[in-house]
């Protein structure tokens, strides 16, 4: 009987005889990711000559060291000197650290100065500009000198309201000759995990209008990511979904009242409840016929084909993860809270029932003879509370399918009736504030059918687009 490669470093709990026997891999198999945008066998420093590096002693823990580099100077642009003052660590993951830092544009010279308090190795940090007051996040990642950084290459392609933007990047080295890539990104103060935690602390469910607003933006961002050019995020989860919240912005505006202008305040204010997908450390361009690692994505949000050890999968694994996030926002807790890799599959089967032979073939044809206990699917309307709108239940059921090809695409999810309220012309948030822009699509609509576009775009938006096209044609 075949065994499932459910991931490294997990020992399954004792299982009754009716449950499948599994044998776990001791080490995840590395994927061949040195092709195209994924990673290149060439010096990272040689291929990114616009980023200079400075040696920092005690990079892991010592504060107050200076990193100098140069930005700008391309296409006739002047070179700029800017400095970042580290404020605090804001996150940490398997692939890097993120810090909050303060940015300062010093002068139009040949050097870019970074004043950093290295609070923790391999964590993100928040920084703030000493002159402009702009707050940014810097992700510091240990870099293999032989290869390009896949995350950097992908983030340079991204430009979307629902994807965190890359501002600058530079290398830094240590006395141990370790090379670090520093990704300077826009700073968004909260993530979906914190939002859920806030509602749970008050013993409340997230208002349905916010569930719609947040998940719609998640799917809109994924629709863009999957089209640029077929990128798969591979780690969609609440912690990687940043969100601007109104109370946070109010505090931020008050703190910067003296130094900031009213026009800047109004600009930031429009970002209320805007969601941005972040952390492309696991992202990859998926190429048909090329093997990928299956031990990817955080456990609660891992698609079943990954649990079955599939190495040729599609961007539909992101759709499964987003479906898990939708269910979590509706329930206030994870839908599939597996304690380990084996238990994760058990939790999925409890809800979806035992996969059929055909469904197993769609996930991984090597396991069609695998014997499972026969468990009936739990009705979706019983998974959620009685007052849950049927449109929400229907969307969750379309996202969380065993067969990857049966899951709707990100763009199809955006057009689902669950989000029709967002398409109403005069819809407002509970605090009577306007919604962030939701229909300023970019290349996501390329190849979409007219019927899908008509469901996706409100009538008033289609009229505006039509008038705009008529005006362009008249002017030419």
Task: Cite the active site residues.
Answer: 235
- Cα(63)–Cα(56) distance, integer angstroms: 10
Q: What CA–CA distances, in Å, run from 148 to 43, 152, 419, 475? A: 7, 8, 40, 45
Q: Rounded distance, CA 414 to CA 441, Å?
A: 11
Number of other CB atoms surrounding residue 246 within 10 Å = 14
Alpha helical stretches, state H, 364-458: 380-383, 390-399, 410-414, 450-456
- Residue showing tokens 């912005």: 249
- Token couple for 62: 């010592």
Would you call 106 helix, strand, or coil by DSSP?
Answer: strand
Residue 230 makes CB contacts below 8 A (sequence gap 6+) with 285, 286, 315
Distant-in-sequence, close-in-space partners of 412: CB < 8 Å, separation ≥ 6: 452
In angstroms, the Cα distances linking 35 to 45, 92, 290 are: 18, 27, 10
Is residue 429 within 8 A of residue 273, CB to CB? The reply is yes
């Amino acid at each position: 009987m075949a065994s499932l490669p459910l991931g490294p470093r997990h020992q399954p709990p004792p299982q009754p005889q009716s449950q499948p026997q599994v044998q776990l891999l001791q080490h995840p198999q590395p994927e061949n990711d040195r092709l195209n945008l994924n990673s290149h066998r060439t010096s990272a420093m040689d291929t990114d000559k616009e980023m200079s590096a400075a040696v920092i002693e005690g990079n892991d823990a010592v504060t107050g060291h200076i990193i100098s580099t140069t930005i700008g100077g391309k296409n006739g642009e002047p070179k700029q000197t800017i400095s970042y003052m580290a404020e605090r660590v804001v996150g940490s993951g398997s692939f890097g650290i993120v810090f909050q830092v303060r940015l300062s544009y010093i002068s139009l010279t040949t050097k870019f100065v970074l004043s950093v308090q290295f609070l923790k190795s391999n964590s993100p940090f928040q920084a703030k500009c000493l002159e402009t007051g702009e707050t940014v996040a810097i992700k510091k990642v240990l870099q293999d000198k032989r290869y390009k950084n896949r995350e950097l290459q992908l983030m340079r392609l991204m430009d979307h309201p629902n994807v965190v933007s890359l501002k600058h990047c530079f290398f830094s080295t240590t006395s141990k000759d370790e090379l670090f890539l520093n990704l300077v990104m826009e700073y968004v103060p909260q993530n979906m995990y914190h939002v859920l935690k806030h509602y749970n602390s008050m013993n409340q469910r997230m208002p349905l209008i916010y569930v719609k607003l947040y998940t719609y933006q998640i799917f809109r961002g994924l629709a863009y990511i999957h089209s640029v050019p077929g990128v798969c995020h591979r780690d969609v989860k609440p912690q990687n979904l940043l969100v601007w919240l109104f109370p946070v912005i109010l505090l931020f505006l008050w703190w910067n009242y003296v130094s900031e202008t009213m026009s800047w305040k109004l600009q930031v204010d429009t970002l209320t409840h805007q969601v941005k997908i972040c952390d492309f450390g696991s992202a990859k361009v998926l190429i048909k016929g090329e093997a990928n690692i299956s031990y990817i994505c955080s456990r609660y949000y891992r698609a079943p084909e990954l649990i079955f050890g599939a190495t040729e999968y599609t961007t539909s694994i992101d759709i499964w993860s987003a479906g898990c996030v939708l269910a979590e926002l509706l329930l206030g807790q994870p839908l599939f809270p597996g304690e380990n890799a084996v238990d994760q599959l058990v939790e999925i089967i409890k809800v979806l029932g035992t996969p059929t032979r055909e469904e197993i073939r769609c996930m991984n044809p090597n396991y069609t003879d695998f014997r499972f206990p026969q468990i009936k699917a739990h009705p979706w309307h019983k998974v959620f509370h009685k007052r849950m709108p049927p449109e929400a239940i229907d969307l969750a059921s379309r996202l969380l399918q065993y067969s990857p090809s049966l899951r709707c695409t990100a763009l199809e999810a955006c057009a689902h009736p669950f989000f029709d309220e967002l398409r109403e012309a005069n819809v407002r948030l509970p605090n009577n504030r306007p919604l962030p822009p939701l229909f300023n699509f970019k290349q996501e609509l390329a190849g979409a059918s007219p019927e899908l576009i008509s469901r996706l775009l409100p009538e008033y938006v289609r009229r505006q687009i039509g008038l705009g096209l008529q005006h362009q044609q008249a002017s030419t």
